[in-house]
Chain A
Amino acid sequence: MTTSSIRNKRKKIIVRTLVALFWIAAWQVLCLFLDNDLLIASPFSVIRRIFELLFVGEFWVSVLNSLLRILEGYLLGAVLGILCAALGALFPFFSALLSPVITITKTAPVTSFVILALVWIKSYNLAVFISFLMVFPMIYSGVREGIESADPKLLEVAKVYHFPVRKTLRLIYYPAIKPFLLTGLSTAIGFGWKAGITGEIFALPKHAIGTRLYESKIYLETLDVFAWTAVIILLSLLIEKLIRLMLKRMG
């Protein structure tokens, strides 16, 4: 790493820390101004509450259950997204058939699906389904775009030299799809996570972050609402970071 890049990185960290401190200070000022625990919790009490939660077994059970459910939906969405994109590229009829589904899932609000899905799906599986619903169209569209970006000149090379399908996939389609797929996978996790938690808030499965958040709201435990929200944000950042790191290593 060069001296200038180290300097740049350090500068970036300082700026980020200052920005964070500014907003925490603004939050604290607002707390002091409102002076009402039911309306807003102070940043320090939220941090203290998160540390308390870390020593409660139910916290970890809820976190792990939510993570598992949402990752299940994420993986399902990713795998089916890739498969359907491949099928869509091969069979235009399949692509046309799927087109309205993709448009609807991309444009309709998450809550509409959650409310509808509540009628059909068990509370445990709802977050899986909602997370899947967010991830699937993103991966599908990304992979389709990647397939379409495959170099037609190299495809002609593959054709005239009679490359087997596997070789064409490995040498032409995979490199074309890879950047779209990696971007899709790293972006989709954040969306899947948020949508999955929303699903839990409606479905209220026994052990879930969404359920804990909902209960905190019902019992007017504003501090817990803030603490669970902070946990959701921190976990979202952590998962996104981990997925990006994993994808970077794979790429």
Chain B
Amino acid sequence: MITLNQISKSYDGKKVLHRFSCTFAEGKITAVMGPSGIGKTTLFSLLLGLIQPDEGTISGLEGKKISVLFQEDRLFPFLTAKENALVAGEGPKDYLALLGLKDEENALPSALSGGMQRRVAMARALHYDGEIFLLDEPFKGLDPKTKEQAMALFRSLTPEKTVIFITHDKEEAKLLADDIVYLNEAVVLKDALPFDHTP
């Protein structure tokens, strides 16, 4: 279990998170929701260790391999889609093909649409094959069909992997998440809604 205990974080004297506590269950998919500016991305950076909390502790991530999908795609502009997807690790499957990008694997990011670039970034996270997946608005810019494919792919990762994803979309959270964390209240709704396992 990943536990955030009494976490506080301020930027230039402005409190973003104040004595925030919550838990993320292992082997489940948790959606993190909340209004803009509430500190979702700060929480994301804290979990990744990119920033340190002013107060409080985070446990359950020590020595764990974390696959990350940032809010922006953050692709290497001079690497092909395939090279980008494999830049962090080889992974067990051909995720580019599973995400419908087999024909585009030799294309540079500049030649791909926004949705395709998102899928390449997604494939990179999947190829890294982490024990924990941290995803910041993973389905942003995807068309409904691709979104469905991607959701099924992340669903298939559980219960071996733990998936935490930030979203603004209630439907996405309801469809995919086992638990939902509302950041403004810092409460976890257990088993928010059952997920239809049929792809």
The residues of A that contact B72 with a CB separation of less than 8 Å are 153
User: A160-B48, A161-B89, A161-B128 are known contacts; what are 9 more A-B pairs with Cβ within 8 Å?
Assistant: A154-B76, A156-B74, A157-B68, A157-B70, A157-B74, A157-B88, A160-B50, A161-B87, A163-B88
The answer to whether A153 touches B78, judged by C-beta atoms less than 8 angstroms apart, is no
- Report how far A154 CA is from B128 CA in the complex, Å: 16
16 inter-chain pairs at a CB distance below 8 angstroms, sorted by A residue, are A153-B72, A154-B76, A156-B50, A156-B70, A157-B68, A157-B74, A157-B88, A159-B50, A160-B48, A160-B50, A160-B68, A161-B88, A163-B88, A171-B76, A171-B79, A171-B87
| Pair A154/B74 contact, Cβ less than 8 Å | yes
What residues of chain A lie closer than 8 Å to B66, measured between beta carbons? 160
Which residues of A are found within 8 Å of B78, using beta-carbon distances? 175
Q: Which chain B positions have C-beta within 8 A of A175?
A: 78
Nearest-Cβ distance from residue A28 to partner chain B, whole angstroms: 52
Residue of B with least CB distance to A154: B74
Shortest Cβ gap from A155 to chain B (Å): 10
On chain B, the number of residues with a Cβ less than 8 Å from chain A's Cβ atoms is 14
Nearest-neighbour CB distance to chain A for B83, whole angstroms, equals 10
| Central interface residue in B70, B88, B128, by most chain A CB within 10 Å | B88
**Contact residues in A for B74 (Cβ distance below 8 Å):** 153-154, 156-157
Cα A171 to Cα B66 in complex, Å, equals 21
A70 to B65, CA, bound (A): 52
Residues of B within 8 A of A157 (CB): 68, 70, 74, 88
- A residues less than 8 Å from B87 (CB atoms): 161, 171
Give the residues in chain B near A156, CB-CB below 8 Å: 48, 50, 70, 74
A175, B79: Cα distance in complex, Å: 12
Shortest distance in angstroms between B71's beta carbon and chain A's nearest beta carbon?
Answer: 10
Contact B70 A153 (CB under 8 A): yes
Contacts of B79 in A (CB 8 A): 171
